[in-house]
């Protein structure tokens, strides 16, 4: 590239540990041109974020160091610059959006003050000029009423707004290069679409280069110009975006793409990548992907693959070096295994929720008088049959998790009924409720924080069984624990280890095993795959499907990932501000959405196919407060199709077919 802004040449970042030298980044090279977006993808632990920190020269000290290589910014080697010069460069010429905005923002400083710091340090702006520029930046990134937000603290704004504040901070120094580390992780698809659109617009206006680090291949397909796949500390494939998605060349890239869920794979097991990323504290004799590759042969184990240039990029694989070599075909039988259709009585209702309301009182004053209510859930009805999955989707704050907690009897309900196999759960208490709890369990979003770090895995699996006095416990025989661990794809030896000794995907399997230990009938899955890589997500989804078929489990699947819903769920309920706005079979709702909110959600989902150009339906603003919901239809202030009647009354459900309904005046008769 003649107009390269950043050139990385043979970068190596190593860490000294008690187990040896960890080669986190081991010979990485790439270039980014002005005005272009370069995407770095791969599983967790492959070295993506450490590459970004190396460019910023923020490698954790004293264990970490840049061992060798060059980081050239317009020809100037940043590795040779002393720290005081890097301080003037960071934030001005190179800025970074960190993955988690809540932990990156100072909770005791106002939003305006945090952005002003950068302006005062790099641009020497003071007083009124600094404040006015800060408000301009907040307005530039789409934050409503920026003058008021200027004096607010991070806890007073939503997750999407926090990410926008991080972008405003990163752009305040008008950088040449913006490093975006998972900028849309855990954001709703509507907010994600707004963030990506904002970055694209600002890039076009300023000619800024972007290094995008993500595991969301849909985002990459939409915004990247060039893609690099990283594995075990090195880049194994680099290609132009179109060529990469049309014909990925490295077996690892092929596996990443084939493990993505979607409606075309319904009824089939997703492709998985067996094993895990190898430890980086030892030298490699051959290809680092050898133990997980379906096409490996002897040469792969014993000879390091060289970098081979291709028409649209390059690849580090022996297949490219010796294309005529006869190599083994795919041997992983489970990759093509079809999950059998469920055989069940579809009329057997497992869970019936009618007109559920969860209102939290707002207490004020010394006497704690009730001044109002937070209407978190405001009249939700849903049904789950045995062996079926109902997906509950919607933006953060709409009440999805509150519904799940109410079903689990973790919070009291204000009105309505929750029937599990005909038993009203809200009428149970004490010993009766404790005995019934074995029938309904939950898989949490974060497996690490939901496991006791001081308990062995075997004891964690025994805990629920012992508490619920289930007869399968035999203190002298742990055979059932061994069988349970094998059932979720773990070795029986895992029972003698602690949670920190496992990867994220393995910990989620342990959480699933803990739930299965008490033999439930209904499982509430609260974002169980949102924090996982696509390859690990495929393993967990395959496991959940297999267990559902085997035990006729019912799932309430709470998620914001509509591609997972399309693959995994049987029915879907779309929730907005405490109410269900559309409900029906997945194939019907996702292929022919009726409610304007559902259409907006689906339009914001990134497409893995870069040739498909989606038309995003913009819904302005944030979710209204459940304390003071809008008069009439709750969605009308953000709805592009709002009518006068929408401002006057809430629409009654319209039955579009025997199984499909929506609450919208467009379909009222």
Per-residue model confidence as pLDDT tens digits over 490-540: 888 999 999 988 877 788 889 999 999 999 999 999 988 876 788 888 888
Domain boundary among 121, 140, 174: 174
Enumerate residues 6+ apart whose C-beta is below 8 A from 37: 203, 209, 210, 212, 223, 224, 225, 226
Tokens 């390269």 found at: 4
Chain centre distance of CA 56: 25
Lowest mean pLDDT among 123-137, 342-356, 422-436, 490-504: 342-356
Judge whether 360 lies within some domain: yes
Structure token digits, residue 160: 């999407």
**What is the Cα–Cα distance from 58 to 172, expressed in whole angstroms?**
20
Determine the pLDDT at residue 527: 87
- Cα gap 497→516, rounded to integer Å: 19
Helix (H) or strand (E) holding 563: helix 562-568
Q: What is the pLDDT of residues 56-111, one digit of tens each?
A: 999 998 999 999 999 999 999 999 999 999 998 998 999 999 877 777 899 999 99
Q: Residue 164's beta-bridge partner residues?
A: none
Stretch among 221-230, 328-337, 547-556 having the lowest mean pLDDT:
328-337
Nearest CA among 282, 305, 276 for reference residue 43: 276
pLDDT of 142-152, one tens digit each?
Answer: 787 889 899 99
Predicted model pTM? 0.85
Q: What are phi and psi of 119, to 5 degrees?
A: -65, -40
Contacts of 349 (CB under 8 A, 6+ apart): 383, 384, 385, 386, 421
Last residue of a domain, one of 152, 174, 196: 174
Q: Taking the chain, what is the end-to-end CA distance rounded to the nearest angstrom?
A: 62
Rounded-to-integer distance, Cα 258 and Cα 76, Å = 40
Encoded tokens for 242: 């179109």
Which two three-digit tokens encode residue 141?
């990134």
Residue 193 lies in a domain: no
Span 250-265, average pLDDT: 91
Question: Could you tell me the residue range of the domain that residue 305 belongs to?
Answer: 251-335
- pLDDT for position 304: 94
Closest CA to 323 of 293, 295, 285: 295
Residue 278 domain-assigned (yes or no): yes
CA–CA separation, 258 and 334 (whole Å): 13
Q: Which two tokens stand for residue 361?
A: 């009182």
Structural domain contains residue 20: no
Cβ–Cβ under 8 Å, residues 386 and 554: yes
From CA 49, how far away is CA 41, in angstroms rounded? 10
Q: Tell me what pLDDT residue 142 has.
A: 77
Beta bridge partners of 352: 383, 419
228 domain-assigned: no
Residues 356 and 324 grouped into a single domain = no
Tell the burial category of 83 from Cβ atoms under 10 Å away from its Cβ (0-12, 13-18, 19+): exposed
Least confident segment among 164-173, 389-398, 410-419, 470-479: 470-479
Q: Please give the backbone phi and psi of residue 585, each rounded to the nearest 5 degrees, phi first.
A: -60, 145
Do residues 375 and 484 share a domain?
Answer: yes
Instruction: Return d(Cα 248, Cα 240) in angstroms, integer.
Output: 10
Residues 280 and 387 placed together within one structural domain of the fold: no
Q: Which of 313, 335, 357 is the last residue of a domain?
A: 335
How many structural domains comprise the chain? Answer: 3
23-37, 258-272, 337-351, 500-514: least confidently modelled range: 337-351
**SS3 of residue 538 by DSSP:** helix
Question: Residue 343's pLDDT band (boundaries 50, 70, 90)?
Answer: very low
The three-state secondary structure class of 635 is coil
| Segment (H or E) for 135 | helix 127-140
Cα dihedral value 149, 154, 157, 159, nearest 10:
130
The mean per-residue pLDDT over the stretch 607-613 comes to 75
Q: Are residues 130 and 259 both part of a single domain?
A: no
Question: Do 356 and 325 reside in the same domain of the chain?
Answer: no
Q: Both 135 and 275 in a single domain? A: no
Query: Is residue 515 located within the same domain as residue 448?
Result: yes
* Within a domain: 557: yes
Distance from C-alpha of 481 to C-alpha of 475, rounded to nearest angstrom: 11
CATH of the domain at 434: 3.40.50.300
283 C-beta neighbours (distance < 10 Å), count: 10
Please tell me the distance from the alpha carbon of residue 484 to that of residue 493, in angstroms, as a whole number.
12
134-148, 338-352, 390-404, 558-572: the lowest-pLDDT one: 338-352
Whether the predicted pLDDT of 341 surpasses 50: no
312 and 358 co-located in one domain: no
Q: Is 590 helix (H, G, I), strand (E, B) or coil?
A: helix
- Residue whose token pair is 């041109």: 33
Distance, CA of 558 to CA of 110 (rounded, Å): 33
Tokens for 385, please give them. Answer: 């049959």
pLDDT higher than 80, residue 474 = no
Please report which residue ranges of 74-180 form alpha helices under DSSP H.
Answer: 83-89, 101-104, 111-122, 127-140, 146-149, 159-171
Co-location of 642 and 561 in the same domain:
yes
For residue 567, the model assigns a pLDDT of 94
- Asked whether residue 303 falls in the same domain as residue 432, the answer is no
Question: Residue 664: which of 600, 597, 586 has the closest Cα?
Answer: 597
What pLDDT is recorded for position 186?
62
**Are the CB atoms for 281 and 242 separated by under 8 Å?**
no
81/88 Cα distance (integer angstroms):
11
Is the confidence at residue 329, as pLDDT, over 60? no
pLDDT at residue 473, as a whole number: 52
What confidence category does residue 301 fall into, taking pLDDT thresholds of 50, 70 and 90? very high
What is the per-residue pLDDT for 371? 86
Check if the beta carbon of residue 577 is closer than 8 Å to that of residue 398: yes
pLDDT bin (cut points 50, 70, 90) of residue 445 is confident
Percentages helix, strand, coil for the chain (3-state, rounded to 5) are 35, 25, 40
Q: Is 214 contained in some domain?
A: no
For residue 320, name the pLDDT band (cuts at 50, 70, 90). Answer: confident
Q: Do residues 328 and 361 both lie within one domain?
A: no
Q: Whole-angstrom Cα distance, residue 120 to residue 116? A: 6
Residues 157 and 302 occupy one common structural domain: no
Whether residue 268 is contained in a domain is answered as yes
> Strand 415-420 vs strand 349-364: parallel, antiparallel, or unpaired?
antiparallel
> Which pLDDT value is given to residue 665?
95
Which tokens is 219 given? 């985002």
Q: How far is CA 110 from CA 90, 120, 154, 348, 423, in A?
A: 22, 15, 7, 54, 50
Q: Chain-wide mean pLDDT for the chain?
A: 88
Distance CA(380)–CA(251), nearest Å, equals: 46
């Amino acid at each position: 590239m003649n107009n390269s802004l950043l050139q990385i040449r043979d970068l190596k970042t190593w860490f000294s540990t008690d187990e040896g030298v960890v080669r986190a980044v081991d010979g990485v090279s790439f270039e980014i041109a002005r005005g272009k977006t370069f995407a770095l993808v791969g599983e967790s632990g492959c070295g993506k974020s450490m590459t970004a920190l190396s460019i910023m020269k923020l490698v954790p000290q004293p264990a970490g160091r840049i061992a060798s290589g060059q980081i050239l910014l317009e020809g100037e080697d940043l590795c040779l610059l002393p720290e005081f010069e890097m301080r003037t460069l960071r934030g001005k010429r190179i800025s970074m959006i960190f993955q988690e905005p809540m932990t990156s923002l100072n909770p005791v400083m106002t939003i305006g003050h945090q952005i002003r710091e950068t302006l005062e340090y790099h641009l020497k702006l003071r007083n009124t000029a600094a404040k006015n520029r800060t408000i301009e930046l907040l307005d530039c990134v789409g934050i409503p009423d920026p003058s008021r937000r200027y004096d607010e603290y991070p806890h007073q704004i939503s997750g999407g707004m926090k990410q926008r504040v991080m972008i405003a901070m990163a752009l305040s120094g008008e950088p040449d290069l913006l490093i975006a580390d998972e900028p849309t992780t855990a954001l709703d698809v509507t907010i994600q679409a707004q963030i990506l659109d904002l970055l694209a617009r600002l890039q076009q206006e300023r000619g800024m280069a972007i290094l995008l680090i993500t595991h969301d291949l849909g985002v990459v397909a939409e915004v990247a110009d060039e893609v690099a796949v990283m594995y075990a500390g090195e880049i194994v494939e680099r290609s132009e975006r179109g060529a990469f998605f049309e014909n990925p060349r490295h077996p690892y890239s092929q596996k990443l793409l084939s493990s993505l869920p979607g409606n075309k794979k319904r009824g089939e097991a997703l492709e998985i990548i067996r094993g895990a990323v190898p430890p980086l504290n030892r030298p490699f004799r051959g290809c680092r992907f050898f133990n997980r590759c379906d096409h490996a042969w002897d040469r792969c184990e014993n000879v390091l693959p060289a970098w081979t240039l291709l028409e649209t990029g390059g690849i580090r694989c022996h297949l490219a070096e010796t294309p005529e070599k006869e190599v083994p075909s795919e041997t992983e039988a489970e990759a093509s295994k079809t999950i059998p259709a469920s055989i069940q009585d579809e009329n057997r209702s497992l869970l019936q929720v009618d007109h559920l309301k969860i209102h939290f009182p707002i207490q004020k004053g010394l006497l704690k008088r009730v001044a109002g209510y937070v209407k978190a859930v405001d009249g939700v009805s849903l049904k789950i049959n045995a062996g079926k999955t109902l997906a509950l989707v919607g933006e953060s704050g709409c009440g999805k998790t509150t519904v799940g907690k109410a079903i689990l009897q973790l919070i009291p309900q204000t009105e309505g009924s929750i029937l599990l196999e005909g038993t009203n759960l809200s009428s149970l208490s004490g010993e009766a409720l404790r005995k019934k709890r074995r029938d309904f369990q939950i898989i949490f979003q974060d497996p690490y924080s939901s496991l006791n770090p001081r308990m062995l895995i075997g004891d964690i699996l025994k805990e629920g069984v012992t508490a619920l006095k289930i007869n399968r416990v035999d203190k002298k025989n742990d055979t059932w624990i061994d069988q349970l661990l094998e059932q979720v794809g773990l070795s029986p030896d895992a029972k003698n280890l602690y949670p920190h000794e496992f990867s994220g995907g393995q910990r989620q399997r342990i959480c699933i095993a803990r739930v299965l230990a008490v033999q439930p009938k209904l499982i509430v899955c609260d974002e169980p795959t949102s924090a996982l890589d696509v390859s690990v997500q495929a393993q967990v989804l395959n496991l959940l499907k297999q267990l559902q078929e085997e035990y006729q489990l019912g799932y309430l699947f709470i998620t914001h990932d509509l591609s997972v819903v399309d693959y995994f769920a049987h029915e879907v309920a779309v929730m907005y501000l405490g109410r269900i706005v559309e409900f029906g079979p997945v194939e019907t709702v996702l292929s022919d959405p009726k409610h304007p909110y559902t259409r907006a959600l689906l339009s914001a989902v990134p497409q893995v196919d870069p040739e498909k150009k989606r038309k995003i339906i913009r819904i302005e603003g944030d979710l209204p407060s459940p304390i003071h919901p809008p008069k009439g239809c709750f969605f009308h202030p953000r709805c592009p199709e709002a009518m006068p009647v929408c401002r006057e009354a809430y629409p009654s459900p319209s039955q579009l077919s025997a199984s499909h309904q929506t609450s919208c005046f467009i379909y009222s008769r």
